[in-house]
Every structure is written in C-alpha cells, then in structure tokens.
Amino acid sequence: MIAILDSGIGGRTIEIAVRALLPGVHLRYFRDSANFPYGDKSPAEVVRIIDENCGKLVAEGARLIVLACNSASVVSLAHLRRKYSIPFVGVVPAVKPAAALTRSRQIAVFGTELTSRSAALQDLIDRFCQGITVHKIALPGLAEAVEAGDTPRVSEIVRRTWAAYERFGIDVVVLGCTHYTQARSEIRHVLGPGVQLIDSDAAVARQVKRVWEALLREGGEAALASGCDASASQH
C-alpha cells in the first residue's frame, strides 16, 4: 500500500498523478482534517502530528508514504527517515524548474507561512537561484479558503497579495502549497497570461513511481537508499 498524507484536499492532485502512473497499486489517501491546516503551526507541532499519523499508516501496512504537503515535508522528512524503515516521498516547492524558466530573473514562491520561513526552501533558493531574485510570498488564509471551496475569497486573497508584487516583473510563480494547485485557475486569472505557474505534482508522482518500482524489484533496499523526495528530480 502507498499512503498519501495531507491535512486536507491539497494532496488530491498528487493522488491523481500517482494513480495515472501506478494504476494497479492500492493507494490510501489520509486526510488529516482534525489538524488542518499545517501551514500555520510551529515546526515542532507539525513534526509531532506527522509522526503520529505516519505511525498509524505504517501500522496499517503502508510500504511507502507520500507527504503531499509542502509544510509537512520541509520540517518532517529528516525526522521520519531517521525513525522509520520505509521510504518517504516529500513535496517541496519547484524552485529548480522555476529558475530554469524565468526570463526576467524574478520568480515568486507562493507558500504557507511555515514553508516560506523554512530552511528547506531557503536551501533550494541558495542552490538553484544564483542571480535570480526570489520573492517568498505567504498567503495567510488561502489554504483555508481553498479547503472551504470559497472561490471569491481565494481570488480576493490572491489579488490583494499580488498587488504588492506586480511591479517586480515576476514571470514564474511556484505554487508551493498543494492546496494552491486546487486554485490554479483563480490564481492564473489574477496573475494574468504573462506569468507561468508551476507545481511539483508531476515530479512527485514520477518519484513515487521510481521508489515503488525499486521496492518491488529489490525488496526495498534501493528505495531506502534513494533520495525519496521530489526536490532532486524536478525538471
């Protein structure tokens, strides 16, 4: 069984992408509504919550767990990989491909407050964005509006936030929260046709497929030794 974990509906697009690549595999989507949202919590609290949820999924028979949440991934992956013997695939903002796409040398990462402040995001920026200005933009309340299906509120939050950044000539925006991928059309409408939107869904699904097939081929040894997150495989 492959388990896909998120605090709400955000990870559903990753689930769809994984199903397309691994149609015969049993997937278990774990929606942790009781702790939604993760992005406004402290790193220590998120690690505790994710650890507890992963313990339950391992007990249920999960052989691979996908953290379909940027906030959870940037603070929890190292701890989980130390504690558990199964592989984990995380999702991190698609900074590397954004850096390759930009022509204005100005990109933005839309993320939760937790992701925007994280050392993991800053490390990606330091590694892949030499000579590129990266605007880390938190959008408080956006994940909640997406989860509630409140489209007018989604558009209002994006419009109000983007107004402070339009002057910079940003031409690529990374959707650094899986909930935001659910609001792609609303975000695109506000930002306009001159801004490319990218996310990590396809990269995560490809990594899940690689890790799962390695588990099947080699009894888990190769998968456990691989990176098991999407950051290195984004392209």
Which residues carry out catalysis?
69, 177
Q: What is the DSSP string of 67-95?
A: E--HHHHHHHHHHHHHH-SS-EEE----H
Retrieve residue 214's tokens: 């390695």
Sheet with 196-198, side-by-side order of all strands: 133-138, 106-111, 172-175, 196-198
> Each residue of 132-164: b (16+ CB within 10 Å) or e?
bebebbbbeebbbbbbeeeeebbbbbbeebbee
According to DSSP, the residues that pair with 28 across neighbouring strands are 3
Question: Quick one: CA dihedral 83, 85, 86, 92, positive or negative?
Answer: positive
- The H or E element that residue 30 is part of is strand 27-31
How far CA 165 is from CA of 39, 109, 136, 159, 162, in Å, comes to: 22, 12, 11, 10, 5
